[in-house]
Structure 1
Amino acid sequence: MPAIHIQSLNTLPRGYSFPATPDAHYLALPHQSPAAGQYGQMYQPLPKISYQLHPALSSSNGPQFVWDMTLPDENAHRDPRFPMNQLNQSATNPPVPLLIIEFPNMPRWQIHVRSSTMAYVTVGDVLKQIYVQLRTMVDAAEGQQLCQSGAADYRSVQRAFDARIAALPLKHQPFQHAHGIKRVDFLRSHTRFAGLVRSTKNPEAWVLTSL
């Protein structure tokens, strides 16, 4: 292996000068608002881009179609006012990969809607996940806690459960009855989809509304 010779600065020829170092180039960063912190100046993140909901999902103009959320989301498509081409359209403008939906009066029951077939969340993704998450079973301890906290009334939830079971074909009633109360029963008699509204507590979430 050849020896490596390191030339001392004292042995460089008289008049030798080092080549100029190229100027450093920096990326121009967007402006951020400084905020006083424990260790001097800290920076807060830029505000996130706001977006609008697809008209089929927004509650601003009233329900665009009839959908009883105790029934599968395919029932929403059966309304003649629901164009089928809306299913693969972006749920928001601009498109987003995640949409957070809260259950009314129960923010812990969040529905995280992620894109399934597209690079963004679609109208169909939202309807599907609303139905799936509303079918989540509520155990006795959680149901009792919600009723004791005033977030729900046990009798009205029980009536909603009984009405949902009674509306099923007879052959399906025993099976569904055995699964007990589900989140959809906490909508009580208000099971018709009425769109989403912006959450007042979580700026990144939307709240499910019903009639």
Structure 2
Amino acid sequence: MSKRVHFAPTNKIYSGGSATPSPSLTVSSLPSSSSPDILTPPPDEDDEYRHIVYPTTPHWNQADLYPEIVLPKPMQIHILLAYAPQTDPAFEFDMINPPTSGHGRYPIHAFAEYATSPPVQSLIITHPLLMHEIEVSPPPSAQGNYVTVADILLSIYRQLRHPIHPVDYAELPDGERREGVDAAYYVRTGSIRNAEERAREERKGIKNIDLLMGCTRFMGLSGTLEGPGVWDLNVA
């Protein structure tokens, strides 16, 4: 039975828009995969899916109620990243494995769109079980200066693959928390069928992904009271 971490803030979701395609979509530095859906550079602009309109969640506009008040534009999160407590995420992403384009459910160029509206140049992702924040910014090779959907997904995957420092492990409280982390490590490494690869992964030790104690399904990001630059990671 999976555990789920819930957060109270409700997302405002936007449907995406044009963004400069970024080389950050390339995952050549990640482990090789036979899946054709692994995130790669977006297709040409005349792609047949370019005119797809993504659904958005309806929300009331405060400016309609108080037209005399000039309000700043609220921060919105892309539908591919949004946390919706009552529904499944927009696409499946097991954070143990590299992110893919969702087996064709969404066109590949949707992952090159800005992660937020208005766009931001960097942001931070937090989770109460992680000992360090996940920092996201466009790679130096990117053509644009704003964070894309792919930047966030790849940053989550890469940073959760980092082994934790022995000092961090020593700070884990004894009991259920430490046992849960240890169990997640053994399940993750034990699922590798190739004996040589499994032994190599075991030698790398406990990773950040194990701190989530087996909850590796990406459920989306939700806003926080700390402002538009900080988002909570929801998992199941």
More strand, by proportion: 1
Q: Counterpart in 2 of 1:114? A: 137
Cα deviation, residue 80, structure 1:
3.1
Which of 110, 129, 137 is the equivalent residue of 2:155? Answer: 129
Which of 57, 76, 93 is the equivalent residue of 1:52? Answer: 76
> Which amino acid is the alignment partner of residue 199 of structure 1?
T
Aligned to 1:175, the other structure's residue is in SS state helix
Partners of 1:82 and 1:103 in 2: how far apart? 27
Partners of 2:169 and 2:106 in 1: how far apart? 35
Cα deviation, residue 134, structure 1:
0.4
Partners of 2:223 and 2:76 in 1: how far apart? 10
Cα deviation, residue 82, structure 1:
3.4
Q: Counterpart in 1 of 2:46? A: none
Q: Which structure 2 segments of 5+ residues have no match?
A: 1-70
Q: Counterpart in 2 of 1:191? A: 216
The question of 1:66 aligning with 2:92 is answered yes
Structure 1 residues 37-64: Cα deviation after superposition (integer angstroms, max 9, x where no partner): xxxxxxxxxx986411100001035400
With the length of structure 1 as denominator, give the TM-score of the two structures.
0.68
Structure 1 vs Structure 2 CA RMSD: 2.2
Partners of 1:49 and 1:147 in 2: how far apart? 42
Structure 1 residues 151-182: Cα deviation after superposition (integer angstroms, max 9, x where no partner): x7111111110111112232211111001000
Partners of 2:72 and 2:200 in 1: how far apart? 45
- Conservation of the 8 A alpha-carbon contact between 2:119 and 2:146: yes
Q: Which has the higher contact order (CA 8 A, sep 6+)?
A: 2
Partners of 2:133 and 2:74 in 1: how far apart? 20
- Conservation of the 8 A alpha-carbon contact between 2:129 and 2:212: no
- Conservation of the 8 A alpha-carbon contact between 1:66 and 1:79: no
> Which amino acid is the alignment partner of residue 189 of structure 2?
I
Superposed, which structure 2 residues align to 1:99-178 within 5 Å? 99-106=123-130, 108-116=131-139, 117=142, 118-148=144-174, 153-168=177-192, 169-178=194-203
> Which amino acid is the alignment partner of residue 134 of structure 2?
I
How many equivalent pairs are there? 159
Cα deviation, residue 72, structure 1:
1.5
Which stretch of structure 1 is more off in the superposition, 84-93 or 135-144? Answer: 135-144
Which stretch of structure 1 is more off in the superposition, 127-136 or 59-68? Answer: 59-68
Cα deviation, residue 78, structure 1:
4.2
With the length of structure 2 as denominator, give the TM-score of the two structures.
0.61
Cα deviation, residue 87, structure 1:
1.5
Residues 1:174 and 1:83: Cα distance change in structure 2 (over 3 Å): same
Q: Counterpart in 2 of 1:98? A: 122
The question of 1:208 aligning with 2:233 is answered yes
Aligned to 1:71, the other structure's residue is in SS state coil
Which stretch of structure 1 is more off in the superposition, 58-67 or 122-131? Answer: 58-67
> Which amino acid is the alignment partner of residue 151 of structure 2?
D
Cα deviation, residue 119, structure 1:
2.0
